[in-house]
Amino acid sequence: MIVDVAIVALKAFLVVFMVLNLAGILGWVERKGSALIQDRIGANRASILGFAGMGLVNTLIADPLKFLTKEDFVPPAGDKLLHTLAPCMALFPALVTFAAIPFGDVITLGERVINLQVANLNVGILYVFAMGSLGVYGIVIGAWASNNKFSLLGGVRGSAQMISYEVAMGLSAMGVLMVYGSLDLQEIARDQGALISTLLPPALGFLQPVIGWLPAWGVFLQPLAFLLFFTAAVAETKRIPFDLPEGESELVAGYHVEYSGGKFLMFFAGEFAEVVTAAGVVVTLFFGGWQVPYLMRDGFHFPWGSVWLLPQITVVILQLIAFTVKVLFFCWLQILLRWSVPRFRYDQVMRLGWKMMLPLALLNVVVTAVVIIAAQ
């Protein structure tokens, strides 16, 4: 019993550690990456003994030190308790969501089979959405506690945007759930290891040589759902092009304008942790999670017949690396998106969420249902 608890605690610690570190590193990637995109140098003034490390020292050492040593200022008429509580409520769901995301297949140590997922919930994907819904509170309470009209405006906009895109996100994920037949994220990741040829109905047998050799990843089976889900996830994290709640050129800093020091660092880290979480969920649902194409538990099984057996530890390491690479790719994609696309106006955001994405997601569900029934 104690060993079970220790294993789960170790997994949880590793996941939180990795997410927080990745959030910090993404801060640096954003600053340096945006500098490269905009043909400038970026932050490189802070240095230790002359070593500035492409802005690493500045972003990873100087900035946190600056944030943590700033004065903690609560607006005089603001609510002190809520002002302190809001950043915690913004950071908590972003970290906790990663508990349901599988980062590898099982490790078999002797007779103990360890599932590489912190919490194996049979309602995995719903847990992710539930924690996403809880993320709204950080914004709402943060805006209210600042006693500032611009803050309140940013907060109300932000929460309205978040709850609108939760609906689109849930419906677009429903197509994926129908295809894989389970709410458990580890099951969905495992089911994406099969080849499409095993899923094709006899009526579509002519497609066999065209796509039958691809692994059954969600992006091949549900491309529209992938586009909708990714857009909705970016809107949930309130990044550009959906960042009117922060509105750097309009609302100063929106709902976190009255926060400084450690509290702002928590909002900031929470936003990057949400980027990592969104990337993690997209990878698990649509890109096979930890699956390397054609890699089964004992080695590679290529579709043209040859088999390459590998020891278990190599397989596990390959899967972990695959998961990390995919998550990093989607984090990078979101950062690239931020610096390439202009910001949506607020009525455009709302129209996109309710009038375009919701009907498309419903259409996707109907078409998927028709195809699944026709294939039986």
Question: Which residues form the interface with another protein (CB under 8 A)?
Answer: 79, 81-82, 85, 121-123, 126-127, 129-130, 132-134, 136-137, 140-141, 143-144, 152, 156, 159, 163, 166, 183
248: number of Cβ within 10 Å: 12
> Residue 136 CB, nearest distance to another protein (Å)?
5
The residue among 104 and 155 lying less far from another protein, judged by its C-beta, is 155
> Residue 144 CB, nearest distance to another protein (Å)?
6
Which residue carries 């590898």 as its tokens?
Answer: 104
The residue among 126 and 362 lying less far from another protein, judged by its C-beta, is 126
The residue among 79 and 261 lying less far from another protein, judged by its C-beta, is 79
The residue among 141 and 316 lying less far from another protein, judged by its C-beta, is 141
> Residue 311 CB, nearest distance to another protein (Å)?
33
> Residue 79 CB, nearest distance to another protein (Å)?
7
Side-chain half-sphere exposure of 346, counting CA atoms within 13 A: 16
- To the nearest 10 degrees (0 to 180), the angle between helices 262-286 and 223-236 is 170
CA distances from 335 to 27, 29, 36, 295, 332 (A): 10, 8, 12, 30, 5
Cα–Cα distance for residue pair 373/376, rounded to 1 Å: 6
* Virtual torsion, Cα 353, 356, 361, 367, nearest 10 deg: 180
The residue among 140 and 171 lying less far from another protein, judged by its C-beta, is 140
> Residue 197 CB, nearest distance to another protein (Å)?
28
The residue among 85 and 224 lying less far from another protein, judged by its C-beta, is 85
> Residue 256 CB, nearest distance to another protein (Å)?
16
> Residue 337: which residues within 8 A CB-CB, separation 6 or more?
234, 239, 240, 241
The residue among 61 and 160 lying less far from another protein, judged by its C-beta, is 160
Phi, psi (5° rounding) for residue 78?
-80, 165
> Residue 146 CB, nearest distance to another protein (Å)?
12
Q: What is the DSSP letter of 343?
A: P
Of the candidates 331, 370, 311, the residue with the CA atom closest to the CA atom of residue 19: 331
Cα–Cα distance for residue pair 259/255, rounded to 1 Å: 9
